Structure 1
Amino acid sequence: MNIVLAEDNDILRRSLSFFLESKGFVVKQFSDGKDALEAIKTNTFDLILTDINMPGVSGMEITQYVRQTIGSPIPIIIFTSSGVEQTELDCFDIGANEFIAKPVSPAVLLVRINKLLNKRS
């Protein structure tokens, strides 16, 4: 299973990538939303994990591209440190499958990933 991980916090991105790779996933890491979006345009992935606020292109813009421009059903999980309820609602409105507040628990993330991927199988 190939995963895009777009997160500008280096420590979080590397630790989540290490954890997911230890569980058998192939993770392509990006610290910039623009680079992640380019990879999504040119490769096939099974899941997108993205921070909402990133340099270049935001997680919301990535989600809008995937849902509206290419019409893909690929599962998308958005991370944010924002505690604003409207932000969460906006993420779901544009097509995110899950929303996880930071700090991200790797164990909880794995449960949500498996839930989303098993639905698609």
Structure 2
Amino acid sequence: MRIILAEDNDILRKSLSFFLESKGFSVDQFSDGKDALDAIENTDYNLILTDINMPGISGMEITQYVRETLQSDIPIIILTSSGVEQTELDSFDLGANEFIAKPVSPAVLLVRINKLLNKRV
């Protein structure tokens, strides 16, 4: 299973990537939303894991583009340090499947990823 991880926090991105790879996933990491979106357009991923606030293009913009322009139903999990309820509601309105507040528990993230991917199999 191939995951794209778009997160501008280097430590979080690298630690989540390491954890997911240890669980058997292939992870492509990006610190910039524009680079991540370019990869999404050119690569078949099983899941998108994206932060909301990133340089270039935000996680919300990625979600909207994937749903509206690419017409894809690929599972999308949004990570954010924002505790604002409206942000969470907006992300679901755009088509996100899950919303996880930081700090991220790798174990909880893994359960949510497996839940989304098992629905698609």
TM-score over 0.5 for the pair: yes
In structure 1, the partner of 2:62 is: 62
Structure 2 residue identity aligned to 1:2 = R
User: Residues of 1 paired with 2:102 and 2:32: CA distance?
Assistant: 18
Q: Which runs of 5+ in 1 are unaligned?
A: none
User: Residues of 1 paired with 2:24 and 2:72: CA distance?
Assistant: 24
Query: What aligned pairs does 1:43-82 form with structure 2 within 5 A after superposition?
Result: 43-82=43-82
Task: Give the Å deviation of 1:97.
Answer: 0.1
User: Residues of 2 paired with 1:93 and 1:73: CA distance?
Assistant: 14
Percent identity, aligned pairs only?
A: 83
Task: Give the Å deviation of 1:102.
Answer: 0.2
Query: What aligned pairs does 1:1-121 form with structure 2 within 5 A after superposition?
Result: 1-121=1-121
Task: Give the Å deviation of 1:64.
Answer: 0.5
TM-score, normalization by structure 2: 0.99
Q: Which runs of 5+ in 2 are unaligned?
A: none
* CA shift digits 1:41-99 (9 cap, x unpaired): 11100000000000000000000010000110100000000000000000000000000
TM-score, normalization by structure 1: 0.99
Task: Please give the root-mean-square deviation of Cα atoms over the aligned residues, in Å.
Answer: 0.3
SS at match of 1:54: coil
